Each structure stands twice: as structure tokens, then as C-alpha cells.
A and B are shown apart, each in its own frame.
Chain A
Amino acid sequence: MSRVRVMLDGRESEGSPDMTILELARREGVEIPTLCEHRALSPYGSCRVCLVEEEKSGALVASCATAVAPDMVISTQSDRVRKHREMIVRMMLASHPSSCPVCDKGNRCELRRVAADLGIAAPRMDRVAQPTQVLDLNPFIERDMSKCILCGQCIRVCQELVVEGALSYRERGFDAHAATFSDGILGDSECTYCGACVSACPTGAMMEKKRVYSGSGDRTVETVCPYCGCACPIQVTVKGDRIVRVEPADPEQPLCVRGSYGLDFVHSPDRLRTPHIRCGDELVPVDWDEALAYAGENLTRIIESRGPDAAAVLGSSKGTNEENYLLQRFARGVLGTNNVDNGGRLYNAAVRVGLNETIGVPETTDRIGALADAEVIVVVGADLVNSAPQLAYAVRRAVKLGDAQLILIDPGRTRLGWMADMWLQPRFGTDGAFLAAVTHVICEENLVDQEFVARKTEGYQALCDAAAEWSPEWAEELSGIPARHIRQVARRYAGASQAAIIYGTGVTQQNRPGEGVKQLANLTMLTGNLWRTGGGLYAVQKESNGRGACEMGALPDFLPGYHRVDHRGMRRGYEETWGIEVSDAPGLSALEMMLAAERGEIGALYVVGENPLQNYPNPGKMRRALEEVDFLLVQDLFLSETAEMADVVLPAASFCEKDGTFINFEGQIRTLNRVLDPSEGSLTDWEIVLGLSEVMGSSLPFSSVGDIQAEVSDLLPEIGPLDTGRHARDMENGGPGAAARRWPASRGIARFSVPELTLPEPPPEEYPFTLVVSNTLWGQGGGGRTGRSKRLLEFAGDSFVEVCTEDAGRLGLEQGNRVRLVSPVGDITVRAALTDALPQGVLALPAHFRDAPATALFDVTLDRDTRTPMMKSCHVRMERRGSDEG
């Protein structure tokens, strides 16, 4: 890149032609005020306060939108610049209300700061009143357009960063304002209340509503959003011991409504305040010493009388890496069992199984940012806008602002639908046949990256032979997707120089989910996309630390770093460090623990932050299982349904009350910092586990999160140190090939796998509907936390099932009618919500309703590879209920 020499405020300086004057000035430490400039957006130049003078031509230019050119002589502070800048700010103030003392934006207001820096106290002009408040009814965002300075940041983040397009300019001149399509309330627009506009607004024009949060904060701490697998960095502002505001910590990573406005669950009155011990039918409050001693005694009693494998530990993909590492060490070292798993199993086991046997990297292979380089993005069975918003934003940016083509494979319409180049709706459960036919076309038409396949893979011929059977015509018959569309998808995907695949629970919670993942892995290998930037294979994780919990070995068959427990060489390092012998027999997975418990084989079950009674299928069976457990120890923020059955309940601290790290779905290490002290009576999970090991007479050698991190980085050089901003497997430097060489074997090549195809059974006559578990933005998981966020509940509290209009018409259902959904396992009653986004015969039930858990309809039949039940869809019948019935 050629260099550009300029004079900046009398000093010689050197930049490059792709640099703006503002960027150069910032690099040189010269401060220029800005109001409309945003790091993640394209230059705009509307506010004009950043103007500088080019002394040779005498031109006043907006430094944020002017590239440096050779021999410029730039003055950022000349009298002329100051005079004009002052005039601009005075004009802004003249059309701005003088309500600064009562404005909640307070000292965060950038207009106020710029005015103060220029020494402007009053506009000294006639004030021109602006239109005022817009009466938005939602509980999240309020708009006061009298404070708007028309910098366009809210519009631009909505269009360029979140790519929702809910806001645009309307009108012209004095009447110009930021508005929704209908110039009405946000509720009537595409707005998802992600809060990006609020965090970008330099003034008080767009503000968070203060129904829950209130007042100016007294300190701000960076930590990590605890909801979905994106684990976005957040900035939490606190006043006293209350959270008053949550904003993105990185302006390039806007949050979603859950992250921006759904973290008030930490202040829920439902938080447990003291440990409890069961006395007969009651849970009696006790102090920590007594609770820990009692729990320790019982755990010791059971492993001594019935052996260590009578104990089981169920951890959580919401816990930190350090806590998951500690928990599995506690299970293996203190209790002496491999019966340890984390709740992530229910949605991510298929990823491990499918990728273990194929590409050898057990996780998402690339980073979100790489999607910008993709020419084609295929989204299979994932409702990204709701389940992984940050990923959805990146996909929309790649499509809307870049050149990427989007191919959507989903039986229902998701909110990405409007920008898809192709939206294919395979009949429920036939994605396998569809993907097989895509494989067939790629092999048959030789769209294969032969060099990559020859050098980096094995098993190609076997796959080709098998694929010969899977013709598009055969798949058309099964899936209902026209054969020519299948060919088109194959050609577009294979024809792109980089094509990414993103998949979600539509793959990982289906029947034989590992096979679906293998098919996707085969596609990325056939086309050579696997090792290209922009050709990633992305697995959506439902929980913030879904990936980290597994990397840390909270798994029955793997030690930290995916080292196999049944491999002596891999065990040895851990055994030496921990000073114990690790059993070579893989333990029980999450659901297997519950099934073993039902058979009376589990004496002690230690549940950390999980709620099987609500979130696992067949609650009746789960209840019987928990009843059979001799000693049930539950550690949670709330008295969950599972905790209500416990013998000892321990109150745990929330995500914002502890230090630690998460590894998000793409492998980024994110650091949690303690924002608040643990809520009254609670302790962090890691402190509790350490306390337990101490009362059990085998103290673990840690006294801080740092100690645990040090051991992790010693044992796992490929992951540690757990430093924020690093990639957990150092994809940057080693490349995915590095991980492949190490795991699962040291062969360094990927392996094609011939998938086992299963076809869905037709619905039995008495259960004619296929019920699909879906997501909304207003809830997460089983709703344990989002169901305790006042604002999210206020906005979307009522449980509902989506029914397509044709089915509703046939059954005489109207919007809001109560319906009973019945499966062979159980039934729930919800309201009907009519939609045109679903095909006939399919119902969609969001997973997060605490009063109507979808899990109540599902049975526990474990897949033999992933050891998970199918939780995406089941067969039900729907009955209309009278309004007065329960």
C-alpha cells in the first residue's frame, strides 16, 4: 500500500490512501469531536462537527468522510474550524430541548460533551421546537425525537449492523426524522428491540425504558451475556447493587433483546437466599456450614456403601469453563466416577459424534467474521434470528451488504426468509434424504475439489459409491423438494469459491442427529470448503458456554480437551496432575443418568444449574427417576422444579456475580468479570464445589479462579491460557488442520463417512400433527431465567402454539383459542397463534414456556451414538378447549 504524507496540525504525518483524516488524527493522538461517526459503520458525514480545514484549498471537510490525500495540510483546530464547529453545535442546541438536568442520558450524552469541550453553554439563537415523544408501548425502548440530532446512527446500525431495517429517515428538511415504515410505534415494525439503536444514540433520543432499571449508574463493568452460544461481550452499568443498563461492550457486536433487556432475572425475588435441607416434606433453611457438611456426609456415605459409580454429576453449559473443569475434576477425583455430563449434551452431542468421525474438529470450524467472505451461505434447520442473533446479523450483513447468496433449508419460514435466494422446505424429517441427494449431485457432476479430497481426506470412493443411490428424483419423492432445486443447491454450493454451512437444532435434535452432521461435514470436505476462510461449518450452540463445558471435560467419555477416558495415554497426564486414577470406563450421559436413576442405580445425583424436570423429555419419568435417587443435591439460582425435590438445595451466584471465562460457539474465549457481589446468601458454583470437596476430606488445590485457570493451561496447552479475545484452539495460527492432526487421531486427514439414512415414520392416526419445538427472542432454553425477567415476561408471557391458518380453519380455531396438545407421553394446554409461516400438519411450540413445557410431550428414546433423545419434533393431536376449562 502506498504511503501518503500530509501535514497534520503543523506536524508531518504519514497515512495510507484508504485512511480517513479522522483515522489518521486518532492514530496521531489528535482529538477531533464526532457525533455521527460509528466504528462499525461506513462513513456518513452528517453531523459536521468533525470538520477540519485543508489549508491549501481552504476547504472545510468532514474528517470522518474524507480520505487523506498526498500533501494535504490539515488543521483540526484553526480559528475557522473552531468558529464553524461552534456554530454547528449551537444550531444543534437550538433545536434541542434544554432538559439536560433531568435527562437520563446525563454525562453519557455526546452532544453535551462536545458542547462542553467547545465551551458552549447556550445556543444564543432562537430555539426551534422539534416534535417530541413517540408513544412506544413496548417495555424496552422509548424515543424522544425532540432530542434527535439526525446523526442517523440508529438508522445505520439498524440497516448496516443488525440489518433489520426497522428504522429509516422520513421526510426532508425540518421534517426529517428517524421513523418506522409506517411512521408509527416500534411494535408495528420489524423491530426486535435488540437495543443497537439505543446504544448507538449519542443523545437521549433513543433510551432504554426504566421500568426495571433506574437512575444513572456509578460504575460499568465488562462481562459476557449468559444466554445463547454467541456469548456476546456486554457492558453492565450498576448503581449500588442493581444493574441499571446493559450495552454491547464491542460496538461491532450488537446484542439482542435478551442481552440488552433480559438480564434483570439476577434481581428476581425468586433468587434463593439460603441453603435448604429436606426435613420430611419440607425444605428447611440452614446455614452454609451445615448444608455443606450434610451434603458431604451423604455423598461420602453413598460412594462408600454403593461404590463411586452410584454417584453422578450433572453440570451446566451455563457455567464457566473454570466451574465445569472443577466439576469434572470433582466427579473424577473426589467422587471417583466418570458419571459427569453437562446439559449441553441435549443439543450438541450430535456435533461431537458427527464431526469426530469426519473432519476431526469437534466444533464450529470458523469464526463469525469469516462469513463476510462467503459467497454462499447455507442455513439448515436453524432459526438464527431467535437462537443465535449475532450469527443472524453476520449472515444478513454478508447477504445484504456483501454478495453472499443465502440458501435456507427449513420446513418453516424463519425471519431470514425474506433475504434468501432459495428457501427449500423439505417435509419434516427428510433433510437427510435432501442432503444425500445434494451429495449425489456433487459426486455425479464432479463438482468435487479433487485436490483437496486426494490430499486431505480418505473414504471418498465409498461415499461416491453409496451416493449413486441417492438421486434427486428419489429425494424429491421423499422430501417434496423438486429435483431441479436439489441440483441447483448442489451446483451453487459447490460452485462457490467459499461456501459456509450453518446448522442448528433442526439437525442436532432430530432422529439420528449425528448422521445429519456427518452429511454436512461430507459436503464441506467434498467441496474443499473446510479449510477455506468463508467455508466454515457452524454449529449453533444454545447456551453461552455449550462449547466450553465440553472443552473442559464435563463429559462422561472425554477428559478436558476431548481426551478420551478410555485411552490410557490420554488419561495419564490428568492422573499424574490430579494424583488419582481415572476409570477407563466412560460414564453415564445426562439422560442415561436419569434412566439409571429410575432403575434405582443412582444413589446420589448432584445437579448444578440444570433443571431436568422442566427441560428433559417426559417429566413424569424424570420425576420418578429423581424420586428413586437416595440423595439429590441441587445447586441453582432459583428453587427450580428439580430443586423442589432435592434433599439439599444450595443457592448459587449468577453469571454477573463471578469471575471466569466462557468459550462461545465459534471458539472465542470471553471473560466474565464480577459485576455485583453474589446475591445475599449465595456462593459461586466454584466456591461451592471447593467447599464440598473440603468437607469430604479431599480438598482440591485451588483457592481462586486464577488457580483453576493455571491448571487448565498447564494441562491443555492447545486451549489455555484462558485469555479473553483468544481463540480457544488458536485457529488463527494453527488452522483447523492443527486440531485435526491432534484429534481424534494423529492422522492429519479427514474422513468421509457414509451416513445412515433414516426416514420419518408417518404420524400415527391418533396423533396427526407434527409438533416442532421452536425459539422466540423472548425466551431462552426452558425459560428458567428469561421467565424471571420482568420486561421479557411483560412483553411475551403467554404460552402459545403456532398453527397454520388452513389447519386452524379446518378445526374451527381462532386466534387465542385455548387448545390442548396431547402426545402419547403427556399433554399441555396453550393458546393457538395463527400463522402462515408453517406448512399444514405442522405445529410450532416455543421451548421456553414454564407453564407449558414442550418437553412434557416428548418421550425418552436415546439415539445410540449421541445418547440423546429426539427433542425437535414429535407427533401430537390438538383438541380445542372451552374458555372456562383449565
Chain B
Amino acid sequence: MKGETGTSTEVFRTVVQDILDDHAGESWPLIAVLQEIQHRIGYIPPEVVPLVADRLGIFPGEIQGVITFYSQLRDRPQGRTVIRACRGTACHVSGGTTVLKALQGELGISEGESTADRQYSLETVACVGACGLAPNVIVDDDVFGTMTPAKVRKLIEKDGEPS
């Protein structure tokens, strides 16, 4: 949530109307519009999709298809902290799967989900180029290498402390 306060549908609608107004008259603005919505709201709430569809003359389902096609676009809110487990080959052979399972167990969510308190989102990533440190876990912009289930627990406990 960047810049806006409140999460009601009304606020979303105003934001989306503004974005659509900015792009009025453009011929294929869908991706740009979706990116801006995500940038402003943090995700693309399904309830604003019909609004976009109506203005751009496409079906809501088609837009949902675009959102679910690109992993960059989200139709659910993300946690304040985004944890990504690497599923690259090097991480896989050095125990990435158990690390991912530990993360799932610790957070109580599957990949693609957020915790109920919106503190954490769990995602997977194909490779971050730090194969020498495999298996890797990325918390927001920081890479944590040579992870184990025990280190996962510590990582999350530490992150939970007020800093």
C-alpha cells in the first residue's frame, strides 16, 4: 500500500478511475494500466477488474487471464515482507525443497499465499544467480545462503522481532 490510506473498494475505484483517465485514448494500455494499479494498490483487486474491462472494451475474464498469465502481476495482496525460496537446479540438489517445506510449515501458508496478518508472502523464484550459496532464501532484497530448516526458523523469529 503505497501512498493511499484505507482499503475500501471505493478508494480502489477512485485510484483505478484516475489511472484509466491517464490512459484514455491509448490503443492497448492494458498492461500499463495493470502495472500502475499494482504499483498504487499493491495488487490488482478482482473487484476493480470489471471497471477496467468496461473502459477498455474487453471482458473481465480476459483481464483476469492476463493477470494470472504474468507472474509479475498479482490479484491478491502481498505481505509486508516477501520471502522467496529458490527453486533453481543448484538449490534443488542442495536441499531447496526441504527449505521450502520448512518455510511453508513455519508460515502456515503455501507458495503464492500471504499470512492472515499480511506480514509475510511466500513465493518461489527460478534462480537468483547465487548458486554458490545454495540453497538460497531471499527476504525482500536480501539473499540468505546455505539455508537449512533450522536457519529458516531463526530467520523468521528474528524478522518477527521489533527492530
Contact = CB atoms under 8 A, between A and B. Distances in A.
Interface of A: 159, 165-172, 179-183, 189, 400, 418-419
Contact of B61 (A172, A180, A400, A418): A180
Nearest to A155: B61
B18 interface: no
Contacts of A181: 46, 49, 60-61, 64
Interface string B31-51: 000000000000000100100
Given A181-B49, A182-B46, A418-B54, A168 B69 contact: no
B106 interface: no
A143 to B, nearest CB: 15
Interface string B59-87: 11110110011000000000000000000
A168 B61 CA distance: 5
Nearest to A399: B57
Contacts of A171: 68-69
B62 to A, nearest CB: 5
A764 B49 CA distance: 44
A159 B62 contact: yes
Contacts of B65: 168-170
Contacts of A170: 64-65, 68
Given A171-B68, A418-B54, 14 more contacts: A159-B62, A165-B61, A166-B61, A168-B61, A168-B62, A168-B64, A169-B69, A170-B65, A171-B69, A179-B64, A180-B61, A181-B49, A189-B61, A400-B57
Nearest to A418: B54
Q: Which 8 interchain pairs have the tightest Cβ spacing?
A: A165-B59, A168-B61, A168-B65, A169-B65, A181-B61, A170-B68, A172-B69, A171-B68
Given A182-B46, A418-B54, A165 B68 contact: no
B119 to A, nearest CB: 26
A531 to B, nearest CB: 31
Interface residues of B, number: 12
B54 A168 contact: no
A168 B46 CA distance: 15
Contacts of B69: 169, 171-172
Given A181-B49, A400-B57, A418-B54, A172 B62 contact: no
- Most chain B CB inside 10 Å of its own CB: which residue of A168, A169, A183, A419: A168
A165 B60 contact: yes
Contacts of B61: 165-168, 179-181, 189
A14 B43 CA distance: 54
Contacts of B62: 159, 165, 168
A176 to B, nearest CB: 8
B123 to A, nearest CB: 15
12 contacts: A159-B62, A165-B61, A165-B62, A168-B59, A168-B61, A168-B65, A170-B65, A180-B61, A181-B49, A181-B60, A181-B64, A183-B64
Interface in B7-56: 46, 49, 54
Q: Which of B46, B59, B60, B62 has the most CB of A within 10 A?
A: B59
**Which one of B54, B61, B69 has the greatest number of beta carbons of chain A within 10 Å?**
B61
Nearest to B70: A172
A261 B60 CA distance: 27
A166 B2 CA distance: 33
A400 B59 CA distance: 10
Contacts of B54: 418
Contacts of B68: 170-172
Interface in B100-155: none
Nearest to A166: B61
A419 B58 CA distance: 10
Nearest to A167: B61
Nearest to B69: A172
Nearest to B59: A165
Contacts of B60: 165, 181
A418 B46 CA distance: 18
B46 A159 contact: no
B51 to A, nearest CB: 11
Contacts of A169: 65, 69
A167 B68 CA distance: 14
Scoring B54, B57, B62, B65 by chain A CB atoms within 10 A of each residue's CB, the highest score goes to B65
A189 B68 CA distance: 18
A159 B62 CA distance: 9
Of the listed residues A181, A182, A183, the one surrounded by the most CB atoms of chain B closer than 10 A to its CB is: A181
Contacts of A183: 64
Nearest to A183: B64
Nearest to B54: A418
Given A172-B69, A182-B46, A159 B64 contact: no
Nearest to B53: A165
Contacts of B64: 168, 170, 179, 181, 183
Contacts of A165: 59-62
B49 to A, nearest CB: 7
A214 B46 CA distance: 39
A168 B57 CA distance: 15
Contacts of A172: 68-69
